[in-house]
Amino acid sequence: MGGNEQKYINEAFKTNWIAPLGPNVDAFEKEIANYIGANGAVAVSSGTAAIHLALSLLDVKKGDKVFCSSLTFVASANPILYQGAEPVFIDSEPDSWNMSPQALETALRDACYEGELPKAVIVVNLYGQSAKIDELITICNQYDVPMIEDAAESLGSTYKGKASGTFGKFGIYSFNGNKIISTSGGGMLVSNDTVALNKARFLATQARDPAPHYEHSEIGFNYRMSNILAGIGIAQLQILEQRVKARRLIFERYYHKLAHIPGIYFMTELGNTCSNRWLTTFTIDEKEAGISAKLLLDSMAEENIEARPVWKPLHMQPLFKEVRYYSHNEIQNVSEQLFKTGICLPSGSNMKVEEQMRVIDCVQNTLKLKV
């Protein structure tokens, strides 16, 4: 926490605005929209809920297809299943680790030929790094398919000077406990389409029709954010820029100490972008480094250092074993290779230098022992 959250929590208690909705919710929505330069925002219970609302607004239903990045957390794709639709997973490309424009183009070309274009494409900005947005939007527009930008991990990042999450028909953010700013649990749906956002508010509040009694003509959801959590969000947003600076400094320290080691390759930052460096990640080439990613992770675990592999691609998950998948090209399966070789290092905003040096020393010592 940044220290100012209690002020807004106390105000919620003082005014008795405890349940979902209230002045903090309204203010948090406006401040997020102003910060990212969007026409509007809707505060909801999670980033997953925001994706689900976006799909509902795009009339995704049973039998429809939705394309989605494969290298991501399962929450990016679960809402597709909520709607009874069918996901199709798209591989990453090696520069940004995000959705491959080449694979997307192949998938859309096939879908057009088969007469089954998707209702939407969900593009994820992994670990704070924006995808190749210009290329992806151009391809989506060519086939008139709307893009949902899953910016759960990239609030505070920019692409060509514009805020991450503002490029698609809808953008989503997460304020889960592990994100760069947190409301404990929560999310935000953003868009320039204010009519759609008003519909999202309606759907997220159990789709209650205007009437003196409880009248419902369509399915709704209990997805609105509480006034208390929104107060935490207001205070957290005030320190977002500090958090981005802290995470980028953590990345720079890791990079300075480890990037020269043979076989270690850090996740790059695309030209004309700024990543919030939500997590510092790198891949390790076993032949060059003399050690596998798994052995390095095991070594850190022995020192009580919590590091993890990168996301396991969704097309490799048992839940999606029958789902169609498009690799980057015929000889490159980028997401699977990143899963095999990628490591996420401890990267919390409040990490002390001595704590980070303990991680760095462990990596250095392990590699020296194994070379």
Tokens of 237: 């947003």
Q: What are the phi and psi torsion angles at 33 (to 5°)?
A: -60, -45
Q: Bridge-partner residues for 364, per DSSP?
A: none
Q: Sign of the C-alpha dihedral, residues 258, 292, 94, 277?
A: negative
What residue has token string 């991450």? 164
179 is an active site residue: yes
Sorted by sequence, the CB contacts under 8 Å of residue 279 that are 6+ apart come out as 127, 128, 153, 344, 345, 347
Burial 152-168 (b: 16+ CB within 10 A, else e): bbbbbbbbeeebbbbbb
Q: Which of 7, 61, 179, 321 is catalytic?
A: 179
Nearest CA among 267, 212, 228 for reference residue 93: 267
Phi, psi of 17 (to 5 degrees): -90, 90
Instruction: Identify any residues that bridge with 345 across adjacent strands, giving them in sequence order.
Output: 280
Cβ pair 197, 40 in contact under 8 A: yes
Cβ-based neighbour number of residue 326 at 10 Å: 21
Q: Which residues are catalytic?
A: 179
